[in-house]
Structure 1
Amino acid sequence: MAEELLLEIVTPERMAFSGDVEEVTIPGTEGEFGVLKGHETLLSSVEIGELSFTVGGKKQYVAVNSGYTEVTANKVTVLVETAESAEMINKERAMRAKERAEEKLSKMAKDELEFELLSIALQRAVTRISVADKS
């Protein structure tokens, strides 16, 4: 289709998605941003969060971990540590991970070394739950 652009979501283990999309929304470290065909060239870092894209008028969601994205006029390449579609996510496991992280964080001072790692784990679990709920 003339109005679409190629999206590739790549992790170290696999090509998580490759196909033409109508639009993409990416969780950038400076804030979420959308991309349509004809977008200016852009390099950005990606934060843990929900990446969404539209194919055939239907929005699809992917939980992504940190990484980078390159945008050109007709292609978006997203290189991230992990990428999980709603179908891949075990919601119960994500809920348990969220509960564990919240419990440990509640007993910990913000200046402890493990605090940041647990905060990241909590953010990943919340994102995975949110994406699973959108399936």
Structure 2
Amino acid sequence: MSLTLRVLAPDKNVFDGSADEVILPSTTGQLGVLPGHISLLTAIDVGVLRVRADGGWNSIALMGGFAEVDSNEVTVLVNNAELGSAIDRGAAETEFQKASSAVANMEGQPASPEKVKAQQLLNEARARMQASKTSD
């Protein structure tokens, strides 16, 4: 028995296929889903979704959204997503370094919309970098 996984962004169908196991980056921590999992609805954080299929693991960078598990079907609706295998590893690492520097430069400053935006960009860059490294 396997799961059916669908990852949908507003402008594209990122993934649609079967999986033996799915690990979701929920807002309350990592959530593993195996066949026969109880039905649930959860918020998805910026992070990396991991998919085990055909004995190997693949990754998808997610930019927040929701996931529903029901009857061995996992549907993930996100703001944006990208297959780890489609991410340029060097560009993702450079983007992460830039975002890290921007957040470090704002350390000690009072909370501001710019500081929140910089932290969000750092989280997204981290997810892209991690997904690019785990899709081999």
Give the TM-score normalised by the residue count of structure 2. 0.91
Q: Is the 8 A contact 2:67 2:76 kept in 1?
A: yes
Is the CA contact (8 Å cut-off) linking 2:63 and 2:78 kept in structure 1?
Answer: yes
- Paired position in structure 1 for 2:81: 83
Q: 1:110 to 1:27 in 2, by over 3 A?
A: farther
Q: Find the residue that maps to 1:95 and give its secondary structure.
A: helix
**Equivalent residue in structure 2 for 1:20, among 15, 18, 32:** 18
C-alpha distance in structure 2 between counterparts of 1:61 and 1:107, whole Å: 31
Instruction: Tell me whether 1:73 sits opposite 2:52 in the alignment.
Output: no
Taking the aligned partners of 1:52 and 1:98, their CA distance within structure 2 comes to 20
> Alignment identity in percent?
30
**Equivalents in 1 of 2:82, 2:56: separation in Å?**
18
CA distance in 1, matches of 2:110, 2:121: 15
User: Across the two proteins, how many residue pairs are aligned to each other?
Assistant: 133
**What is the aligned partner in structure 1 of residue 46 from structure 2?**
48
Relative to structure 2, which stretch is displaced further, 97-106 or 79-88? Answer: 97-106
Counting only pairs closer than 5 Å after superposition, residues 112-123 of structure 1 correspond to structure 2 as 112-123=112-123
Deviation digits for residues 23-74 of structure 1 (CA, Å, limit 9, x no counterpart): 1100000111011111111000000111011111111111111000000121
Give me the whole-angstrom Cα distance separating, in 1, the residues matched to 2:100 and 2:110. Answer: 13
Is contact 2:92-2:132 (8 Å) kept? no
Q: CA deviation at 1:13?
A: 0.8
After superposition, the Cα gap between the structure-2 partners of 1:113 and 1:51, relative to the gap in structure 1 and judged at 3 Å, is same
Aligned partners of 1:100, 1:63: CA distance in 2, in Å? 18
User: How far apart are 1:102 and its partner, in Å?
Assistant: 2.0
Larger mean Cα displacement after TM superposition, 69-78 or 96-105: 96-105
Pairwise CA distance, 1:112: 2.1
Give the secondary structure class of the aligned counterpart of 2:49: strand
State the one-letter code of the partner of 1:49: G
Between structures 1 and 2, the one with greater strand share: 2
| Residue identity opposite 1:10 in structure 2 | L
Aligned residues: CA RMSD? 1.3
Tell me which residue corresponds to 2:128: 128
